[in-house]
Amino acid sequence: MLRKMMTGAALVAALMSGTAFAQSSTVNGAAGGAVTGAIVGGPVGAAVGGVAGAIVGTAIDPPPQKTVTYVREAPAPSTRVVVKERIVVGQPLPDTVVVTPVPEDPTYAYAIVNDERVIVEPSSRKVVQIIK
């Protein structure tokens, strides 16, 4: 039994060392969580750890500093946008909020909601960062 676990752990470690996992923090989070869960709790731990790691991994990709600087310094629109919903990192903005693409970095967009500047993923409208 111990030999099986060691062989499985070695296989997972070898797979994780490849660069294919480096492209997405969700994959990194899922893989890392699965390995940690497998070590602690076996197959069930691997499944639970993989899901937890994927959730944590999706919230870790901060935008580059030049994007944050652009959003911080962009002129505010003349109309004020107020929504009742709380703006939360990882959650999409309401459909009523207009997002503006970041010209130098089209992988991000921004909006000013409830007097807060937020950076979002344009396709999902998911809030990536709230600028304070």
Q: Return the higher-pLDDT residue of 5 and 112.
A: 112
pLDDT tens per residue across span 103-118: 999 999 999 999 999 9
Task: Tell me the average pLDDT across 42-48.
Answer: 63
* 13 has a pLDDT exceeding 90: no
Residue with tokens 């992988």: 107
* 121 has a pLDDT exceeding 90: yes
Say yes or no: 78 and 108 in one domain. Answer: yes
Query: How many CB atoms within 10 Å of residue 7?
Result: 10
**Residue at which a domain ends, from 58, 74, 97:** 58
Domain span at residue 45 reads: 2-58
**Number of domains, the chain:** 2
**Is the pTM for the entire model greater than 0.75?**
no
Say yes or no: 109 and 76 in one domain. Answer: yes
**Residue at which a domain ends, from 39, 58, 77:** 58
The mean of the pLDDT values for the chain is 74
pLDDT tens per residue across span 51-95: 556 555 555 478 999 999 999 999 988 888 999 999 999 999 999
Among the listed residues 56, 48, 57, the one whose alpha carbon sits nearest the alpha carbon of residue 22: 57
Report the share of the chain in percent with pLDDT over 90.
46
Please say whether the dihedral angle defined by the alpha carbons of residues 88, 46, 39 and 42, taken in this order, is positive or negative.
Answer: positive
Give phi and psi for 31, each to the nearest 5. Answer: -65, -45
